[in-house]
């Protein structure tokens, strides 16, 4: 598996097991150690690579322990402090990590609850851990642009100089992206005031004007994101680039008109039909959830999305004869279409994309069935 698939595998595991994890130790066993082993590539049972309960005296504090120290080339390079998965990370959680950072050779500190992984270094002041992380990875909403940077921290590709040199840019780009994401979800007064001032004809942006513009900014933000997604899909459909499943999967789930359009339909007609289809961000989120779930059975690149006017289909190998799921989201009541061994669809009502995880076993069973009939090992 490559980095993307390993992260997706752990993401699916997190979604399945998070609700049953109640302690810090259980979090370490279920999520933290698998991340160290599967994603970062360290042997968690080899004390020359991973030191659990690492101890270093810090000033007057003797015998304090940090959860894990990762060793590379005989030197401690990374410190990891873990909290239980049900507890959101807070600044005070990093206090012990902060103290240890200054008395070891480690240049990377990691704070995690198994779901969110915050990576710190010493950009602001040498040998003193920064107050803000340079990289934040959330396994429930993985930002793929961060995976190449995460790869630099793996055992086989450990490149501290490269990580440190890129950390400053990552830190501020990440902060800006999180800020923008927050504004798109829930516009702040400052954001509404700024945009209103750019388009409003009046001289003063009063409280009444801000209240008037708040829902407009919120609606415009959602429409803008949807249009960006659709533009990418239209560009992909209009190009002559190969639409093999892997190529589609690496960008955005796309439709393949040649397979879904009626026989004999012209290329112009196909393009017209495709332009009438609007793929929503919610459908894309649902597709990503299904793919994360079934990647335990098959490579993620083989799971392909194809939209239609009535539903968003998720297929194995971009093959209509191998449907994994259908997302019936173009209605007030959303449904998840599941398939049995005879490819008979059953629509299950869901309220939110997250509800798809409740049907993980059936989705995996469907994929496993296709593989078994094809004589493949899952």
Could you tell me which CATH number the domain at 3-181 has? 3.90.1570.30
- Residue length, the chain? 378
Spatial distance between the Cα atoms of 128 and 99, rounded to a whole number of angstroms = 9
Residues 88-145 have pLDDT tens digits of: 888 777 777 888 887 788 889 999 999 999 999 888 888 888 888 888 999 988 888 8
What per-residue confidence (pLDDT) applies to 134?
Answer: 87
358-362 mean pLDDT: 91
Spatial distance between the Cα atoms of 364 and 294, rounded to a whole number of angstroms = 5
Place of tokens 């698998």: 34
Spatial distance between the Cα atoms of 143 and 134, rounded to a whole number of angstroms = 14
Contact indicator for 218, 187 with CB cutoff of 8 Å = yes
Q: In what order do the strands lie in the sheet with 50-55?
A: 50-55, 65-72, 75-82, 108-112, 116-120, 135-138
In sequence order, the 6+-apart residues with CB closer than 8 A to the CB of 233 are 252, 254, 255, 274, 279, 307
With bands split at pLDDT 50, 70 and 90, how would you rate the model's confidence at 57?
low
Residues 328-349 have pLDDT tens digits of: 998 778 899 999 988 888 999 9
User: What residues form DSSP beta bridges with 70?
Assistant: 50, 78
359-363 mean pLDDT: 92
In SS3 terms, the chain reads as CCHHHHHHHHHHHHHHHHHHCCCHHHHHHHHHHHHHHHHCCCCCCCCCCEEEEEECCECCECCCEEEEEEEECCEEEEEEEECCCCCCCCHHHHHHHHHHHCCCCCCEEEEECCCEEEEECCCCECCECCCCCCEEEECCCCCHHHHHHHHCCCHHHCCHHHHHHHHHHHHHHHHHHHHHHHHHHCCCHHHHHHHHHHHCCCCCCCHHHHHHHHHHHHHHHHHHHHHHHHHHHHHHHHCCCCCCHHHHHHCCCCCCHHHHCCCCCCHHHHHHHHHCCCCCHHHHHHHHHHHHHHCCCCCHHHEEEEECCCCEEEEECCCCCCEEEEEECCCCCEEEEEECCCCCEEEEEECCHHHHHHHHHHHHHHHHHHHHHCCCCC
With bands split at pLDDT 50, 70 and 90, how would you rate the model's confidence at 23?
very high
Spatial distance between the Cα atoms of 290 and 48, rounded to a whole number of angstroms = 38
43-56 mean pLDDT: 92
Contact indicator for 139, 7 with CB cutoff of 8 Å = yes
More confident residue, 362 or 222: 362
Domain locations along the chain: 3-181, 186-235, 241-373
pLDDT beyond 50 at 266: no
pLDDT beyond 50 at 243: no
User: What residues form DSSP beta bridges with 19?
Assistant: none
295-316 mean pLDDT: 90
Residues 208-226 have pLDDT tens digits of: 888 888 888 888 887 887 7
Integer angstrom CA distances of residue 93 from 98, 174, 219: 9, 21, 37
156-168 mean pLDDT: 81
With bands split at pLDDT 50, 70 and 90, how would you rate the model's confidence at 69?
very high
pLDDT beyond 70 at 289: yes
Pairing between strand 75-82 and 65-72? antiparallel
């Amino acid at each position: 598996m490559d980095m993307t698939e390993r992260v997706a595998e752990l993401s699916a595991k997190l979604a399945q097991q998070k609700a049953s994890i109640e302690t810090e130790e259980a979090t370490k066993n279920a999520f933290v150690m698998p991340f160290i082993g599967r994603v970062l590539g360290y042997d968690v049972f080899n004390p020359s690579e991973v030191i659990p309960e690492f101890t270093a005296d810090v000033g007057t504090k003797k015998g304090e322990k940090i959860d894990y120290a990762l060793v590379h080339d005989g030197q401690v390079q990374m410190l990891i402090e873990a909290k239980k998965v049900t507890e959101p990370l807070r600044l005070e959680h990093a206090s012990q990590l902060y103290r240890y950072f200054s008395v070891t050779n480690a240049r990377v500190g990691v704070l995690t609850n198994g779901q969110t992984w915050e990576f710190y270094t010493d950009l602001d002041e040498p040998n003193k851990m920064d107050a803000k992380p340079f990289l934040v990875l959330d396994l429930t909403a993985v930002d793929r642009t961060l995976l190449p940077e995460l790869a630099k921290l793996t055992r086989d590709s450990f490149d501290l100089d490269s990580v440190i040199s890129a950390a400053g840019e990552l830190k501020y780009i990440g902060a800006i992206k999180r800020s923008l994401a927050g504004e798109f979800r829930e516009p702040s007064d400052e954001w509404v005031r700024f945009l209103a001032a750019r388009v409003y004809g009046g001289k003063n942006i009063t409280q009444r004007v801000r209240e008037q513009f708040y829902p407009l900014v919120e609606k415009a933000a959602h429409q803008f994101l949807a249009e960006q997604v659709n533009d990418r899909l239209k560009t992909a459909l209009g190009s002559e680039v190969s639409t093999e499943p892997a190529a589609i999967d690496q960008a955005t789930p796309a439709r393949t008109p040649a397979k879904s359009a009626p026989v004999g339909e012209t290329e112009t007609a196909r393009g017209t039909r495709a332009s009438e289809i609007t793929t929503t961000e919610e459908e894309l989120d649902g597709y990503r959830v299904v793919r994360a779930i079934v990647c335990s059975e098959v490579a993620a690149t083989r799971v392909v999305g194809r939209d239609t006017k009535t539903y968003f289909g998720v297929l194995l190998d971009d093959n209509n004869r191998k449907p994994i799921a259908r997302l019936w989201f173009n209605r007030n009541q959303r449904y998840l279409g599941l398939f049995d061994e005879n490819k008979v669809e059953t629509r299950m009502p869901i309220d939110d994309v997250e509800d798809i995880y409740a049907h993980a076993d059936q989705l995996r069973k469907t994929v496993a069935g296709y593989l078994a009939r094809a004589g493949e090992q899952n």
